[in-house]
Structure 1
Amino acid sequence: MSDRVDVGIDRILVPLDGHEAAASALDHAITLAENVDAGIHLLSVVDAYRLKSVDQRRSIEAELEDVIADAAAAVQTAEIPVTTAVEVGFPHKEILNAVADHDADLIAMGTRGRTGLDRHLLGSVAEKVVRLSTVPVLTVGDDAVGTRPYRNILVPTDGSDAAQPAERLGIALAGRFGATVHALSVVPELRIGSRETEDAYEAASRDAIERMKEHGGENTDIRGGIEHGVPHRTILDHCDAVDADLIVLGTHGRTGVERFVLGSVAEKVVRLAERPVLVVPARTGGGTD
């Protein structure tokens, strides 16, 4: 096991709001920090949009300071370096600002379930952060399944340049955890398309799987597969088939063969997955070199 592989994660940002899902995200952040030798920065945001009075602000700040204090105690118990902050502003903006201010390499956030209005973290904050973040974002639902430390990591890929940072980070994390990487490339069902287009998808899928196996070398167990279907549904079904503890996938693609695990597919997986999902932007420092 290449347990000293450089993952490129030195500080993890964990936004907290007192909800159970955020506590689950903290648990995963602690597990990651323990295995990649990272520190944790805890952040709670008083939503400026919802404030009606100074007294309300003070009351919410006091509640969040208690949440932060309890979380910091849990991090310290794990002997992980921790810093804390309570800010006032618009949540997704304060979270993204904190990435720059505290040199965070990864954000770990909770989501509140998979149905109705509760499928979004702090309203629409999670989706905004996933779309706008320049660093990987781990989303964890309060109903998330899987085990920690991770033993099975699913890495969907479409063979594009945009997917490569996710491929490399997934492999690097597997090295730290001694986990198996399940590489998956989905050839999407084409309602309108030529045989040449399908062949291009097939070729890109084969190349992506082989590239991941070469990158993992002899020290990482990488098992690859190519499937046909609707990308996000196939990814979710494959999670159950391999009993994945974590999904690592890319976003921000372009067009044609390179658009598969990108944009809306990543967002659908984040919304619907019963497993933690780590979304990796195309340009990121975490595990990409």
Structure 2
Amino acid sequence: MVPPHLHAAPTVSPRGGEPGTARPIFRHVMACIDHSVDARRVLQQAATIAELSGAELTALRVLPTVRDERYADPVEWELSRREENAYLRRVARDLDAPETMKTAIMTGCQAARCILDAARESGADLVVLGAGARENPRGWGLGGTARHVAEDFDRSVLIVPEGPWETRPADALPRRILVPLDGSARAEAALRIAAAIAPKRAAELVLVHAVPQIELHTEGPEAPEDEALRDRLTRRAEHIAKTRLDRLRRLLPADTIRSRVRMLSGEEPRRALARTLLEEEGELVVLAARGTGSDPDLPIGSTADYLLSHAVSPVLLVRSAEPMSHRTAGSAPRRRPTVRGGS
């Protein structure tokens, strides 16, 4: 009997969850906006996801903490708040973001902490922000704010990096969503999210799996039978993975979703996945925050971390509501920041 779990995939509710409608993908999307060149891309991605999910959309601006405590003056704060709110509204108009979009202005804490507090207090289940590569001394990968939020937020995060996709017209981009799968239940949960998004974006769904390399630890030089054993184990792993991916693909509604499978082998899995994501030029990568790894204290698995740091397309890091590990369960309450509404 075919397992039914993918048939319960969340579909888009036009109004975000009216009685009798399917559960929406997300209910509240929060876009973190600054004055960098990434701001418009971040809000555009957030608005797109919010629209197709029927979700509430909030644009959050965190003001930098300054030594002169300028924002402690009520008049200065009000002037700054109005300026920043006007900026958010101007960006929203330029992108045709929903008129129902809310704005929020915060200060008084480090950027990542403000974002996390605002998201949790507002009930956001998706935070969208730029990769912040400029914060990284290497000039690529995740900046400190993006990494902090991706690791500590207990729901999903969409990271928007710079990359080739941003310099081309929207109609020239491949309508393609990539989903790395490793056989874990978390990865299949990410596939359910991708399957709900794909038809609304008229995108092809590409299921990708990298077969782990088989390592045989022997004393001395390898014998001919060792190589034969490695080949046999590799072929068996490839067969099992292909069978599983084909089964998952058959569970996708063929009338609304175009899909295909890519099997990768002969290379270190993380590198193979990163190379494939670059080759496919997908408009979106949907990825489980953790896969088959069993360490509950690891907020992001090693594969997800590697792909986030090397991605050139927006990456939706899917993290369902799971019990907190002892890494965070015993955390002391933090000082509350200054929160002022924008609209």
Question: TM-score per shorter chain, which class?
Answer: 0.7 to 0.9
Whether 1:222 aligns to 2:246 is no
Would you say the 8 A contact 2:24–2:53 is kept in 1? yes
Would you say the 8 A contact 2:71–2:77 is kept in 1? yes
Would you say the 8 A contact 1:154–1:183 is kept in 2? yes
Give the percent of matched residue pairs that are identical in Structure 1 and Structure 2: 23
Match of 1:116 in 2: 137
Q: 1:86 to 1:200 in 2, by over 3 A?
A: farther
Q: How does 1:119-130 map to 2 (within 5 A)?
A: 119=140, 123-130=143-150
Match of 2:207 in 1: 183
Normalization by structure 1: what TM-score? 0.80
**In structure 2, C-alpha distance between the alignment counterparts of 1:157 and 1:148, rounded to whole Å:** 27
**Unaligned runs of at least 5 residues, structure 1:** 257-261, 285-289
Would you say the 8 A contact 1:185–1:227 is kept in 2? yes
Would you say the 8 A contact 2:175–2:204 is kept in 1? yes
- Letter of the 1:53 counterpart: D
**In structure 1, C-alpha distance between the alignment counterparts of 2:238 and 2:61, rounded to whole Å:** 45
Whether 1:92 aligns to 2:112 is yes
- Residue 21 (structure 1) shift: 1.6
Match of 1:238 in 2: 276
Task: Please state whether the residue corresponding to 1:20 is helix, strand or coil.
Answer: coil
- Letter of the 1:189 counterpart: Q
Task: Please state whether the residue corresponding to 2:182 is helix, strand or coil.
Answer: coil
Q: How many residues align?
A: 275
Q: 1:97 to 1:3 in 2, by over 3 A?
A: closer
Task: Please state whether the residue corresponding to 1:119 is helix, strand or coil.
Answer: coil
**In structure 1, C-alpha distance between the alignment counterparts of 2:78 and 2:137, rounded to whole Å:** 28
Q: Deviations over 1:18-61 (max 9, x none)?
A: 1112331111112222322222111122355xx32212777799
Equivalent of 2:176 in 147, 152, 156: 152
Whether 1:8 aligns to 2:25 is yes
- Residue 3 (structure 1) shift: 7.0
- Residue 87 (structure 1) shift: 1.6
**Could you tell which deviates more after superposition, 4-13 or 60-69?**
60-69
**In structure 2, C-alpha distance between the alignment counterparts of 1:104 and 1:9, rounded to whole Å:** 8
Q: How does 1:41-80 map to 2 (within 5 A)?
A: 41-48=58-65, 51-55=66-70, 66-75=83-92, 77-80=96-99
Match of 1:259 in 2: none
**Unaligned runs of at least 5 residues, structure 2:** 1-10, 14-21, 218-228, 295-299, 323-343
Q: Determine which structure has the larger strand proportion and give its number.
A: 1
Whether 1:250 aligns to 2:269 is no
- Residue 198 (structure 1) shift: 4.5
- Residue 243 (structure 1) shift: 2.7
Task: Please state whether the residue corresponding to 2:179 is helix, strand or coil.
Answer: strand
Q: 1:174 to 1:70 in 2, by over 3 A?
A: same
Q: Deviations over 1:142-185 (max 9, x none)?
A: 34516658710011110111212211111111022121001000
Task: Please state whether the residue corresponding to 1:107 is helix, strand or coil.
Answer: strand
Q: 1:264 to 1:184 in 2, by over 3 A?
A: same
Would you say the 8 A contact 2:33–2:61 is kept in 1? yes
State the structure with more CA Rg: 2
- Residue 244 (structure 1) shift: 0.9
Would you say the 8 A contact 1:251–1:266 is kept in 2? yes
